[in-house]
Amino acid sequence: MDLDFSKALQRCLDQVEPGRVTTCGAVAQALGDVRASRAVASWIATRPDTSGGHRVVRADGRPILASASRELSREGTRLFRGRVSADQLTDLLEPTRFLTALREEQQKLSERVIEQDGGLQVERVAGVDAGYDGNTMHIVAVSIDAKDLALTEIIAVKRQAEFPYIPTYLAYREFPGIEAAVRRLKRRPDVLLIDGHGRLHPALFGVACYVGVRLDLPTVGVAKHPLVGRVRPRTRSPSRASPVEFRGQVRGYAWTPPGRERPIYVSIGHRISLERALEVVRGSTLHGYPEPLRLADRIGREMKRNKE
């Protein structure tokens, strides 16, 4: 699968002739998903030497690049009060199917997710979190003892992000770093908690599923904000967790840990049942968030501050 976003973006920009402009939304549509609009703008803004980037404007006609006005004027593109008129827009670009192909891959791989425990014995729980400093990723994997939650191992990895942040395509941005960190753990964890969604995803295949299938590890998605689904009224379950329905099935739980006002969202990643996933998350949480993820986030923030 070709994950070269810059190449796909360039195929879109090459369609815009001098004297014309296009919008971030039009480019995102050509890439295969309008949710990529912000990523298009951010990519061009941080890479001003992108060929044709000066011909990309926001929905209101303002160029993405502050330096674009001179180049646009040279090409005969008129600006009025810093905006390009609508009659100079090329708003229908030939599709590249870049993101369409990735969505199709997610849907295909989602069929490989195993939603059963298989006699899983949990002695070591790990969590992995990715933080950012510009385009630099700080990925931290933290492993703890499942019984007393004692810290057993920390792995930190720094690398450049080669894929932009696009909602629902997080795995393609973070998996290379997550894989590098997890594979460096001396002891393979029994369960890996991922800071992101699993089955609670439009393709039923969020980053936790992607990591689980690719690494063949039991994984659980733990997210701070909902992505899809409807939270049902809480039952009298001792777990005090509310089921989250998506496409007619319970795909996750909304659970409010001690010391936290808002719920977190737990869903299956791979090779674990939903009830067991919630059990592992609850059992590894002392205050606010599961310990492996809380520690990984804290260490990642320290890495960012120290620039190490």
pLDDT tens series, the chain, 308 aa:
678 999 999 999 999 999 999 999 999 999 999 999 999 999 999 999 999 999 999 999 999 999 999 999 999 998 999 999 999 999 899 999 999 999 999 999 999 999 998 889 999 999 999 999 888 999 999 999 999 999 999 999 999 999 999 999 999 999 999 999 999 999 999 999 999 999 999 999 999 999 999 999 999 999 999 999 999 986 666 568 999 999 999 999 999 999 999 999 999 999 999 999 999 999 999 999 999 999 999 999 988 787 64
Same fold, 5-96 and 112-306: no
**Token pair 């699968």 is at which residue?**
1
Instruction: Please give the class, per CATH, of domain 112-306.
Output: alpha beta
Q: What is the pLDDT of residue 303?
A: 82
Spell out the domain ranges in the chain.
Answer: 5-96, 112-306
Looking at residue 234, its pLDDT comes to 67
pLDDT for 125 equals: 98
pLDDT at res. 160: 93
Count Cα atoms within 13 angstroms, Cβ side, for 83: 8
What's the pLDDT score for residue 305?
81
DSSP string, 105-151: HHHHHGGG-----SS---SEEEEEEEEEETTEEEEEEEEEETTT--E
Distance between CA atoms of residues 102 and 107, nearest Å? 9
Angle at 117 between CA 114 and CA 120, to 5 degrees: 135
- Two structure tokens written together for 191: 């369960």
- Please tell me the predicted confidence (pLDDT) of residue 1: 66
**Cα–Cα distance, 177 to 205 (Å, whole number):** 18
Domain 5-96 has CATH 1.10.10.10: yes
Q: What does residue 3 show for φ and ψ, rounded to 5 degrees?
A: -105, 20
Between CA 262 and CA 268, with CA 266 as vertex, the angle to 5 degrees is: 170
Name the one residue in this structure whose structure tokens are 């090779």. Answer: 271
